[in-house]
Amino acid sequence: MNALKKTLWLAAAIAGVALSACGGGGNASGNQSGNSIGWNATPDWIPPPNGSGGSGNSGNSGNATPPATGDNTVPVSVDASTGNVNRLLASVTVCVPGAQSAQVASQCVSVDKMLVDTGSTGVRIAARALPTLARQLLTQAGAVDDPVGSAPIVECMPFASGFTWGSVKRADITIGSKTASNIPIQLISDGAFAVPDDCVAHGGGDMGAALDAMGVNGILGIDNFTSDSADAVTTAIPGNYYYCPSQNRCISTRVQASQEVMNPVAGFARDNNGTVIRLPAVPAGGQASVTGLLVFGVGTQPNNALPPNATVVAVDKYGTFTTQYQGRVFNRSAIDSGTLSYAFPDSAIPVSAAGLYTPTGTLNLSATIDPTNGKGSPLQMPFSVGNAASLMASGYAAFNNIGQYFSNSHNNMFLWGLPFFYGRDVYTVIGNAKVGNQTGPFVAF
């Protein structure tokens, strides 16, 4: 199955290059997969004939070698294979660093069903997806508090619902046509080191098993940041990074940013300042499956231009901004492809046992997001919340109207999850990257 996917990927890449050579570069990436995309893939970035649409290249240096077009995308999809709705998936190729070519079978493995997550940082792959490759990957060592300097660095990565535990390795990660060379990744549940007690105490449940149950092979964390833990650079925080001199002994440690699990986009040579996720709209009753695009770079190629009328929302160091709903202020709001719902508190809406909203009829709601690029008025964002139970009974996987109840009032959290992404282009800009006259980190749509 992996060989077939690799062949298709190669064919798609070749087709993309051929199309752009014919001068139709703007169109190439929209159709490069060669599969029928059930939505109008005509891109809206093609400049009008009189050439006045120059804003599409506002982020382009203009003096560099003309960038290849269409080489910076990878298909993403939503389907029922995970047993969950609204799980955005992509494939990556993992190679031993310095492998001569992605074609050397023994040094590279294609891994599908990676969760595309704009809410976390870094590539995390279940060790079971790399049964023979894992041991060939380079070990990340040299933790700041390791007196000897050669002990492997192992991470307990906390998520909202639990943690992933596993060695930090270095690999070449190829997504679509773009490669991040020799970057730190996490090998989830590799079993090399016993889980430390404080990793369990602070982390809760080991998510490795949950990922297995979903049939998900890993997490592709492509958020607004380059390395995953700012705090670990200065503090040996409990339940995060460890150096492990032996199988049963792991010690919390500070690590350098360059040793931390890394956003692969930041590791590309070009088109490395962020991403665009482009998903088609879905009908109110949902859709069995969806195919879209993950585009690398913002304002670096014709296919990733930030439109002049885009809403730009700056995010803080936690990736959050402010949303207002029903007069309440949520200053820990985020747009997050890794969340399957709109997650927000509204005690007036009926809730299922699973905590999903189940109104009798679809509710048309609205919340307000404050753009931060000086464009003036706050933006009213309409969104729909349908009856999750009846929607999901269809067996479909893609819904733009799943809502989740979250009661904790002082979390101040309002999450715009994957439902927000359907029918939109969502831009995620990394760190202090400049796109035109905007400076990151920001999200835009």
The binding site for other proteins (CB under 8 A) comprises 82-84, 87, 115, 117, 119-121, 157-162, 197-198, 200-207, 209-210, 213-214, 216, 219, 221, 228-231, 237-240, 317-319, 326, 332, 336, 338-341, 343, 345, 347-348, 355, 404-411, 413, 415, 417
Closest C-alpha among 284, 262, 265 to residue 361: 284
Judged by beta carbon, residue 20 or residue 428, the one nearer other proteins is: 428
The least CB distance from residue 75 to other proteins, in Å, is 19
The least CB distance from residue 162 to other proteins, in Å, is 3
The least CB distance from residue 402 to other proteins, in Å, is 11
Helical (H) or strand (E) element with 220: strand 218-222
Count CB-CB contacts under 10 A for residue 351.
Answer: 17
Is the preceding peptide bond at 97 cis, omega within 30 degrees of 0? Answer: no
Closest C-alpha among 353, 439, 424, 431 to residue 388: 353
Helical (H) or strand (E) element with 329: strand 328-335
Judged by beta carbon, residue 13 or residue 214, the one nearer other proteins is: 214
In the structure encoding, which two tokens stand for residue 365, read together? 């709601």
Judged by beta carbon, residue 53 or residue 204, the one nearer other proteins is: 204
How many residues in the chain? Answer: 445
Judged by beta carbon, residue 84 or residue 181, the one nearer other proteins is: 84
Provide CB contacts within 8 A for 211, sequence distance 6+.
126, 164, 188, 217, 218, 219
Judged by beta carbon, residue 177 or residue 229, the one nearer other proteins is: 229
The least CB distance from residue 299 to other proteins, in Å, is 26
The least CB distance from residue 318 to other proteins, in Å, is 5
d(CA 363, CA 379): 19
Judged by beta carbon, residue 32 or residue 275, the one nearer other proteins is: 275
Give Cα 365 to chain centroid, integer Å. Answer: 26
